[in-house]
Chains A and B, each alone.
Chain A
Amino acid sequence: MPARHSAPILPLQLLRRLVPRAEREEVLADVQTEYAGRVATDGRQLADRWLWQQALASAPALLRWSWWRGVRGFEPLANNYRPGGPMLKHVLADVRYATRRLMARPSYSLLAIVTLALGIGGTTAVFGVARPLIFDALPFAHEKEVTAFWFGGSWTENEFTYLRDKFPGYKTVAMYRHNDVTLRDDGAPARLLRAISSSADIFDVLGAHPMLGPGFKKGDDAVGAEPVVILSYGLWQELGAKQAIVGTRLTLGGTPRTVVGVMPRGFWFPNPSVRVWLPQPINPEGQNGSFQLIGQVAPGLDVYHMEAQTAALVTLLRERFTYVEEWDKTRNAHVDPIREDLLGPMRPALVATFAAMTLILLIACTNVAALMLGQLEGRASELAVRSALGANRRRLAQPLVVEALLIGLASGVMGAAFAVFGFGTLARALPLGTFGETASFDWTLFVAAMSFAMLAVLLVVLVPSVSMLRRQHANLQNVLSLARTGGVRGAGARVERGLVVAEVALAMLIASGAALLVRSVTNLYAINPGINTEGVAVIDVAASGGTPASQRDQAFNELATAFQAMPGVQSVSYAMRLPLRGNSNSFGITLAGEGPLEKSSTFFRMVSQDYFKTMGIQLKRGRLFQSTDKLDSTETLVVINEALAKKYFPNLDPVGRFVGGGLHEQQRIIGIINDVAEGALLDPNKPARYYLATQVWMGNNASFVIKMKDPRHAENMLTPLRQTVATKTPLLALLRTTTMQRVFEDAVGPARQIMTLLSLLSALALVLGAVGIYGVLAHFASRRKRDWAIRVALGLPGSRVITNILRQGVSLIVVGVVLGGVATMGLSRFLSTMLYGITGVDALAFAGASAAVLLTGLVAAFIPARRAGTVDPALILREQ
C-alpha cells in the first residue's frame, strides 16, 4: 500500500457530507487509497485534479441517492446494525411523523400556528410599512450630502436671492415650497395635484435626474421665464405614458406649461404624494416667508458637522436682515441631514409600534414554546425509550426541530396573509401622513414573514430542546417510573414558570406603554381649543390659479348657498384658514397714534359672516360681522381675540379703536372673541385678527365649515357635500373633506394614533398572555391531579385546591408585573416625545396597566383551578 499523502480537505469534506453515514468510512478510505496511488504514479497535481473531479461529479448522483433512499426507505441488508444511515431519510421520516402528530392534535397545532401567525403577521406588516422609511435609501444620489435648514417653510425669496451665492460651506442651495395646482384636462373636472415650486437647481442639489427630458435649466426660475413643469412617473403613467410628452403643454393652475421632464419610477421629494415640480419665479424683493431651504454641502464637509458654516451664515443674516422675535432666524440656527428632516418625525411612532409588535411576537414564541414543552411532558416515556434504545442527542432533538419548523412554515404563510390584510390598515393608522397613503407592499413582505417565522422557530425550539436534553441526563429509570405515575416536577415545571413570568412581563410592558399614551392623550383632549368641534364638516376647495377675484368670490358664495340648502345643515361659512392647522399668515400690527410696533406679529384670518357662530366661538365684547357689513364700507372691520386685547390694549376698551398693519391703517375693531388655538394645539394663545371675507381675501383656497343640526351626521354628510362641490361649482377643485373633530385629532398629534394602535396591541398581548397562563396552569394542574385527587379523597375541601392553584398563578403574574413595570420605567424615555402632562413614571398609568394584566391573568388562572377543584377524585384515581 503506497504511503498516504494528505489529500485536499475540501473535496473530501464534500464527499463526507454527501455519502450516507453507514458507508462513509469505507468510501472515503477507498478514495484516499486511490488518491495516494495516483499521487505516486501521476504526480500530485493530477491526483488533486482527479479528486476534485470525483467529488464534484459525484455530488448530483449522491444527492439523488440520499433523496431516493429517504423516499423509498431502502436500507441494504449489509448496513443492518450499522449506526446512522442517510440523514435525509430521518428528516423525511420526522416530517411524516411530525405531520401525523400535528394532524392528530388539531387544537394544539391550530393554537400554536395561529398564535405565531398573529405575531409574525403583525411584525411583518409593521416591518413592511417601516422598511422604506427607516431602512431604504432615499431616492436620490446626494442623500449623504444634503442638509435641510432650520426655520423650514419660512424663508423668503428676498433672503434666498441675497444669500444664493454666499451660503458658506455649500456647493448649491435650493429653495422650495408646497404649491398645489389644478390640472384641467379637456372637459374633465379640475383636479388638484400636489406640487412643489422650487428654484431651478433643486434636482442638482438632490442628485436626481429626469428619466425623460432635459429637466430644469438655469434661469427657469427667473421672473418672466417660460413656464415649464417636471412630472412624476405616476402622473406620466396616468397621462398615457407617452415618450413624446416632453415638449408638449399641460395647463396647470390656469397656466400652459411645457413638460421638460419625467422623473424616474420610485423618485419622490419631499414626499411621495407630490406629482409635479415647477420652477418658482423668484422675485428678488419677495417677502412671503413660505420657503424651505436644502443645500448640498461643499466637498469634504460632513452634514453632521456644519456648526461653523451655520454660524457664518447667521452672521451674514444678522448683517443684512432684522427680524421680529418670533421669526428670528438668527436664533436656534442649525441644519439637519435631509433624511432626518424628511423622515425623522415619523421614527418614534414606527419604532414604538415595531417594538410593541416584536414583543407580541416574543409572547407568541413563549406561548408556543410552553405548548411544546407541555407536549414533551406527555411524551416523556416515549423519549426515555428512544434514548434507552440508543438515540443520540441529535436524533432526539431532530423531531422537535422538524415539528417546530412545520409550525413555523404554516404560521409564516398565515402570517404573510395577515400582513397583507393588515398592511393598509396599519399604514393608515400610523401617523405617517402622505407616506401612509402611498405605502405599498411587495414580495419582500413574504420573505420578511418567512424570516420572522424562522427566527421565531429558533426561539420556540430552544426552550423545549434544552429542557429535553438536560432531562436526558437524568436517571433513565427515574424518568420511566415518573412518566408512568405522572408526577413530574422539576426542570420542566421551572422552565414553564419562567416562561409565564416572561410573558406577563412582556404584556405588562406593552400595556403600560399604552396606558402612558392613554393618559397623555387624555391630557391633550382636555385642552380647550376655543371652538366647538362637534358636528362640523370641513370641505377644502381651491380655485384655479388665475381665476379673477370676482368670479372666485362668486363661486365661494354659490357653494355656501348650495351647502346651506342641503338637508340637516344648520349653518355654513368659510375661512381662509381653519384653527389647529399650523402657524401661518402672520402680520405685524400698528396701533393708531403710536407708530409701528417693534417686532409684533398677529395671526391674520379671513372669515365669512357666520363663521364664529358655526365654529362655536364666543363673543366677549362688541359685536360680530353682520349682513350690513359690505364691501363698500369706507373702513375695514376687524374682530380681535382676547389675547390681542390683553397685549395691546391692557387698560383700554379696544372696541371702536383703530389698528393697522398688514392692510391699511384704518381697521376698526368691532368685537372681541375668545382665544382660539389658531396654530398648534399646545401653542400659547397668540393675538389674532379676523376680517370679513367679502372685505379682505387672500389666495385661492377656502375651507368651508358646515355645522349640522344633528352632530352625529357630520361624518355621513361628507359624501353628499363632496358631490355638491363636483356638480355645483366647476370652477372649484375639491382639496379634501374631513370633520372639525378630525382636524382636532390630527392636532393632538401622533400620540393619539399610536395610542389607538398600542391599545389594540396590548389587548392582543393580554389575550396571548392569558392563553399562556391558562396553558401552563392547566398543565400544572393536570400533572398533579393525582396528588390532588388523593388529598381530596382524604378530606381536603375542593376550594383549597382552587386557592392553591390560583396562588401559584398569582405569584407568577405578580413577579411578571413587577418585572414588566421596572422594564417600562427604563424604556419609557423612548415614548417621552409623545408624552404630554405626565412623566414616564406615572402612577396612574402603571396602576391601570397592572390591574388589567392582573385581572386577565386571574381569569386565565381561575379556569384550570376551578376545573381541578371540582372534579370527582374517584374518576381520576380510577383513570390511573
Chain B
Amino acid sequence: MNRETADAPLGVFQEQILVAVLRTRDEAYGMNVRREIERVTSRSLAIGAVYATLDRLEEKGLLESKRSLADEHSRRVFTVTAVGGRALAEVREMRERLWQGIDLRGLLKLAGG
C-alpha cells in the first residue's frame, strides 16, 4: 500500500473518486464526492473511506487540496492535478483499447440470458 506510486495503475475506487472530483468541479469536498459516487453508482459509501482515499491520492500528487474560505465551514476542496488528469486519461484510453471490437449488445444478451 505504501509502495504505490503515481505510475501504478489506479484502483477502481481511486478512479471513481478522481472522476467524482472532476464531476463536482468547485464543490469537490469529501461529502460531495461521496454523494456524487453514491448518486451515480447507487450504492452507499462510507465517508471515512472517501476521506482516506482523497488523502492518499493527494499524497501521490494526483489531487491537491485548498481551503475554501467562502463557506460557513472552511472545507478542504480538491482539484485534479496535471498528473491526476494524465493518469485518468491513461486509464480511460487503456479501457477503450481493451473494449475495442467487443459487441456490447452481444454482451448484454449474454448477461441477460
The chain A residue sitting closest to B67, CB to CB, is A78
B8-62 residues at the A interface, CB under 8 angstroms: 29-31, 35, 44, 46-49, 51-52, 55-56, 58-59
A74 contacts across to B, CB distance below 8 A: 55, 58-59
A25-64 residues at the B interface, CB under 8 angstroms: 25-27, 29-31, 33-34, 50, 53-54, 57-62, 64
B35 contacts across to A, CB distance below 8 A: 34
Is A469's CB within 8 Å of the partner chain B?
A: no
Do the beta carbons of A65 and B73 come within 8 Å of each other?
no
A594-631 residues at the B interface, CB under 8 angstroms: none
B47 contacts across to A, CB distance below 8 A: 15, 27, 30-31, 54, 58
Most chain A CB neighbours (cut-off 10 Å) among B29, B48, B77: B48
Is A304's CB within 8 Å of the partner chain B?
A: no
Given A26-B76, A76-B55, A78-B66, A57 and B29 touching (CB < 8 A)? Answer: no
Complex Cα gap A77–B66 (Å):
7
Do the beta carbons of B52 and A64 come within 8 Å of each other?
yes
B29 contacts across to A, CB distance below 8 A: 26, 30
A59 contacts across to B, CB distance below 8 A: 48
Given A26-B29, A30-B30, A31-B31, A78 and B49 touching (CB < 8 A)? Answer: no
Is A69's CB within 8 Å of the partner chain B?
A: yes
The one of A25, A33, A57, A72 in contact with B48, judged by C-beta atoms closer than 8 angstroms, is A57
Do the beta carbons of A62 and B58 come within 8 Å of each other?
no
Complex Cα gap A65–B66 (Å):
19
The chain B residue sitting closest to A78, CB to CB, is B65
Q: How large is the interface on A (under 10, 10 to 19, 20 to 34, 35 or more residues)?
A: 20 to 34
Complex Cα gap A402–B75 (Å):
33
Do the beta carbons of A29 and B73 come within 8 Å of each other?
yes
Do the beta carbons of A65 and B76 come within 8 Å of each other?
no
Residue ranges of B at the interface with A (Cβ–Cβ < 8 Å)? 1-2, 29-31, 35, 44, 46-49, 51-52, 55-56, 58-59, 64-67, 72-77
Complex Cα gap A855–B64 (Å):
70
Is A71's CB within 8 Å of the partner chain B?
A: yes
User: Can you pick out 15 interface pairs between chain A and chain B where the beta carbons lie within 8 Å of each other?
Assistant: A19-B51, A26-B74, A26-B76, A30-B29, A30-B73, A31-B47, A53-B44, A54-B46, A57-B46, A58-B47, A58-B49, A64-B52, A65-B51, A74-B55, A76-B55
Do the beta carbons of A79 and B76 come within 8 Å of each other?
yes
A380 contacts across to B, CB distance below 8 A: none
Complex Cα gap A65–B47 (Å):
12
The one of A23, A50, A62, A71 in contact with B2, judged by C-beta atoms closer than 8 angstroms, is A71
Do the beta carbons of B46 and A76 come within 8 Å of each other?
no
Most chain B CB neighbours (cut-off 10 Å) among A25, A31, A62, A78: A78
A25 contacts across to B, CB distance below 8 A: 73
Most chain A CB neighbours (cut-off 10 Å) among B1, B29, B67: B67
The chain B residue sitting closest to A1, CB to CB, is B72
Question: Would you give the shortest CB distance from A61 to chain B, in whole angstroms?
Answer: 4
B72 contacts across to A, CB distance below 8 A: 29
The one of A33, A61, A69, A71 in contact with B46, judged by C-beta atoms closer than 8 angstroms, is A61
Do the beta carbons of B30 and A76 come within 8 Å of each other?
no
Complex Cα gap A30–B72 (Å):
11
Is A421's CB within 8 Å of the partner chain B?
A: no
Do the beta carbons of B59 and A62 come within 8 Å of each other?
no
The one of A58, A68, A78, A79 in contact with B56, judged by C-beta atoms closer than 8 angstroms, is A68
Do the beta carbons of B75 and A58 come within 8 Å of each other?
no
The one of A26, A61, A62, A69 in contact with B75, judged by C-beta atoms closer than 8 angstroms, is A26
